[in-house]
């Protein structure tokens, strides 16, 4: 259904196999266990959601991850997306602004045995200067604009996937590419619905 927007008529086998490996039921609240494998977002508390599996797969695919890549995620939430990324990348840095969610995510990833995800609590609008630049950046909350610090922390040749738009308006999934010469291109891919990115200047 989204092929006309994304130019991809199917998701890569690698990404689909990764989704099969990551146990989504370990990332949803206990009272929603029976819905863990439905293709829909679910509430995780604090007004936040774990994204729909299709969107997780699509955004992961669009990042063009290679096994030596260092990826930055803004919006850890349940840490499901971070776990999917960690199956493909060398290291994932994931920032969450809500302390309780950041704490729960950290414990969960430890229990699941992930050793290549670094979780941090803070405002991801500003990225993670001390670990920059990143091969890929994924923002899993909708921003009103593309945060300039994130563009600055993207490696030449890198890709950023970010939903942009207001909370009550249609948001668009945007792909930002930084070319080898440092110039930036951005493409609108498809309409999406995310919780808002808070924080910022
Ligand atoms: N990737 C998540 C989806 C999380 S929903 C998952 O797989 O479950 C978006 C998350 O972004 C929420 O947890 C929200 O608290 C967080 N968030 C919003 N603004 C943020 C900011 N400025 N910095 C870091 N995290 C932010």
pLDDT at 158: 98
Ligand 1 pocket: which of 75, 94, 118, 192 to mutate (most atoms <8 Å of CB)?
75
51 is catalytic: yes
106 in a structural domain: yes
DSSP category for residue 52: P
User: Total structural domains in the chain?
Assistant: 1
Q: Which domain, by its residues, includes 89?
A: 3-192
Is residue 199 in a domain?
A: no
Is 75 part of any domain?
A: yes
Q: Where are the beta strands (DSSP E) in the chain?
A: 42-45, 48-50, 70-74, 91-96, 117-121, 134-139, 154-164, 171-178, 184-192
Residue 12 tokens read as: 């890569």
Indicate whether residue 75 lines ligand 1 (CB < 6 A).
yes
CB atoms within 10 A of CB 33: 11
How high is the pLDDT of residue 64? 97
Q: Phi/psi of residue 92, each to 5°?
A: -120, 130
Q: Over 80: is that where the pLDDT of 70 sits?
A: yes
Tens of pLDDT, residue by residue over 117-163, are 999 999 999 999 999 999 999 999 999 999 999 999 999 999 999 99
Does residue 200 fall inside a structural domain? no
Q: Give the model's confidence band at 48: pLDDT under 50 very low, under 70 low, under 90 confident, else very high.
A: very high
Domain-embedded: residue 23? yes
Looking at residue 96, which CATH number applies to its domain? 3.40.50.150
């Amino acid at each position: 259904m989204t092929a006309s927007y994304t130019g991809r008529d199917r998701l890569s086998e690698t990404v689909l196999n990764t989704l099969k490996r990551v146990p989504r039921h370990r990332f949803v609240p206990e009272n929603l266990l029976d819905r863990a494998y439905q293709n829909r977002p679910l509430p995780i508390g604090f007004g936040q959601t774990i994204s729909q599996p299709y969107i997780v797969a699509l955004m992961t695919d669009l990042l063009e991850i290679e096994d030596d890549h260092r990826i930055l995620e803004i919006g850890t939430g349940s840490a499901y997306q971070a776990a999917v990324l960690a199956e493909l990348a060398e290291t994932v840095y994931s920032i969450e602004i809500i302390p309780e969610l950041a704490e729960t995510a950290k414990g969960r990833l430890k229990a699941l045995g992930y050793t290549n995800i670094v979780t941090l609590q803070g405002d991801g609008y500003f990225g993670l200067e001390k670990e920059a630049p990143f091969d890929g950046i994924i923002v899993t909350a909708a921003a009103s604009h593309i945060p300039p610090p994130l563009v600055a922390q993207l490696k030449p040749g890198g890709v950023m996937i970010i939903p942009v738009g207001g909370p009550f308006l249609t948001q668009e999934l945007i792909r930002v590419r930084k070319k080898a010469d440092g110039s930036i291109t951005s493409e609108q891919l498809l309409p999406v619905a995310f919780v808002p990115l808070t924080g910022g200047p």
